[in-house]
Amino acid sequence: MDRDVIIACDFSSKEALYGFLGKFGDIKPFLKVGMELFYKEGPGMVRELKEKGYKIFLDLKLHDIPNTVYRAMKNLASLGVDITNVHAAGGTEMMRYAKRGLEEGARGNLPLLISVTQLTSISEEILRKELLIGASLADTVKAYAQNTKEAGLDGCVCSPLEAPIIAGLGLLSVTPGIRMEGDGKNDQKRVTTPAMARELGSAYIVVGRSITGAADPAEAYTRCMKEFIG
């Protein structure tokens, strides 16, 4: 299985992002572009990054009625990103429509399409008391992953702790909630180190503040790659 480290580029502007990337020299890491940056800079920035040779995980977590997600995904597909996603909570039909939109809109290679099972900020308590879901977190993740497979998607975003569940279904796992040894958890509840994520079977890990907040981001990224890929 191919593995890679994806840097969560949670910056407020393109200028901030490019200032960060300038610290990497000739290294072109896999980048996650999320809502904050995409809504500020738009699709033009994504096209620009692709032209510069970066792999992109476009993390917008689409979640709407099937036809709306289909049309949105068809538009996003033209950006040529490498991975994109939807919320599994939207249901199997919505995920199928998302895949169809991606297939119809893609130019060249088809991006991987993955679902978000449960955010890494969700705990058992939040699941029960706020979302009113009586099943356990593990059972909920597994059910959403089974729906993801049924819809024909490639994998799931999940906690590294749930990667074995995803792998057992024959799906790729893309796992945020990664912290280097000694780093704080911040607003995430279910976290592991890169080495633990490798042992648990993660295909991709998404690393944010442990790299973006480091004094030497390129060194932190290289260390993370060695720990995760070996």
Q: CA 155, 158, 163, 168: dihedral to nearest 10 degrees?
A: -40
Identify each DSSP E strand in the chain by its residue range: 4-8, 30-34, 56-62, 83-87, 112-116, 155-157, 172-175, 204-207
Q: Please answer whether residues 213 and 220 qualify as being in contact, where contact means their C-beta atoms are separated by less than 8 angstroms.
A: no
Identity (one letter) of the amino acid at 136? S
Closest residue by Cα to residue 173 from 181, 161, 183: 161
Q: Among all residues, which ones are annotated catalytic?
A: 61
Cα separation, 79 vs 70, whole angstroms: 15
Nearest CA-CA partner of 21 in 61, 43, 49, 1: 49
State the amino acid at position 150 in one-letter form.
E
